[in-house]
Structure 1
Amino acid sequence: MFMLRNPLLASLRSSYKPNTITNRLFSINKNLLQTPAKGQEILLKQRANRPISPHLTIYQPQITWYLSSVHRVSGVLLGAIFFGVSIAYGINKIYDFGLNDDSLVEFYKTNVPTWLDYTGKASVAYLFTFHFANGIRHLVWDKGSGFTIKGIYKGGYSVLAVCAVAGSYLFSKAF
């Protein structure tokens, strides 16, 4: 009653109207009243709508992606071949399994089909020339040149051209 009679308090009362901020501050959040199982269900629904990170399907594939991937794979494969053969020869010398160069060549010529021989030689030739040429490209980058978009693409296509020519040359010399 006193509030209605006092003009100052009456003006304050009429100016106060609840808004969204005060409603949020002073209301009970219904999400807090849920059970943990319900919260887990909501979380699983949110995760189902979330994209896989990084979501590569939104990007246009670039030559740099492929060259980087093939460079790493070629390094791993060539390293595995080199160390596998080196370790096999070392174990043969230590334990004397009786494997020598002549017996390995004879086994290779009699048991390995021609298509597998050609495939193996071509794979090693092209992987080696690609890894070598792309390694030189990286050394040029280490020098600090070729960092423009045009330079990066020019270097990438140059690596592919060198790989095609030098790989074919090495493959032809394998016979």
Structure 2
Amino acid sequence: MLLQLGLNGCYRGVVRPSVIARASRTLGKRFNSQAVKTTFEKEHEILVAQRGNRPVSPHLTIYQPQLTWYLSSLHRITGVILGSGFFAVTIAFGISTLFGLGLNTENLKNYYKEKVPAWADWTAKGTAAYFFAFHFGNGIRHLIWDTGKELTIKGVNRTGIVVLALTAIGGTALLFK
């Protein structure tokens, strides 16, 4: 019983035996529990009911939004979109070559010029240009952080604003190439 209570200091004379005896009697009365047989389903119902009584954490709603949140999220989103587009085209060319479907750059260029309207062309090019410019610039920003530079709040905000400015310039340059 002494080891269960974590009172093994009494062996060294740190705690008087009367204090340990009193604590043992009090804990024994207060926590006199018995094992009850139950099923997994009943235990699961109890667990679900207990979870329903837990308070909900405020999570992100208690924090003021910051530039770093938005840029981090946007970096991940642009990376996924650019990567997905790259892999879709690569897989399409691979499957076409494997099965002899005739997809090549010349056929793709002709189809694109004949079937895609101008507004869709500008939308696709603009999206790709600005996404690439942002993802590239923010990647350079991360490389700067990897060197241990610009890691203060002021430096992080400064590099974030530089990335946004370079995205506007670089994306526009790529769009009109």
Do both proteins adopt the same fold according to a TM-score greater than 0.5, normalized to the shorter chain?
Answer: yes
Residue among 70, 76, 81 paired with 1:72: 76
1:143 Cα deviation from its structure 2 partner: 0.8
Question: 1:52 and 1:27 mapped to 2: Cα distance?
Answer: 30
Match of 1:81 in 2: 85
82-91 vs 118-127, which deviates more?
82-91
Match of 2:66 in 1: 62
Shift of the 154–26 alpha-carbon distance from structure 1 to 2, 3 Å rule, reads same
Q: Percent identity between the aligned chains?
A: 52
1:89 Cα deviation from its structure 2 partner: 1.6
Kindly report which structure 2 residues correspond to 1:6-155, keeping only aligned pairs within 5 A, or say none: 25-26=28-29, 43-51=47-55, 55-155=59-159
1:70 Cα deviation from its structure 2 partner: 1.1
Question: 2:30 and 2:104 mapped to 1: Cα distance?
Answer: 85
Deviations 1:138-169 (CA, angstroms, capped at 9, x unpaired): 11111111011100000111111110111111
Shift of the 72–54 alpha-carbon distance from structure 1 to 2, 3 Å rule, reads farther
Match of 2:166 in 1: 162
Q: How many residues align?
A: 154
**Could you tell me the TM-score, scaled by structure 1's length?**
0.71
For structure 1, the residue ranges without an aligned partner over 5 or more in a row are 1-21
Q: RCO (CA 8 Å, sep 6+): is it higher in 1 or 2?
A: 1
Could you list the runs of 4 or more consecutive aligned residues of structure 1 that deviate by over 3 angstroms after TM superposition?
22-25, 31-46, 49-54
Deviations 1:67-113 (CA, angstroms, capped at 9, x unpaired): 11111111121111112212222222232212232322222122223
Shift of the 53–111 alpha-carbon distance from structure 1 to 2, 3 Å rule, reads farther
**Could you tell me the TM-score, scaled by structure 2's length?**
0.70
3-state SS of the aligned residue for 2:123? helix
3-state SS of the aligned residue for 1:146? coil
Question: 1:103 and 1:27 mapped to 2: Cα distance?
Answer: 82
For structure 2, the residue ranges without an aligned partner over 5 or more in a row are 1-24
CA RMSD of aligned residues (A): 3.0
Shift of the 51–74 alpha-carbon distance from structure 1 to 2, 3 Å rule, reads farther
Question: 1:52 and 1:80 mapped to 2: Cα distance?
Answer: 36
1:40 Cα deviation from its structure 2 partner: 6.6
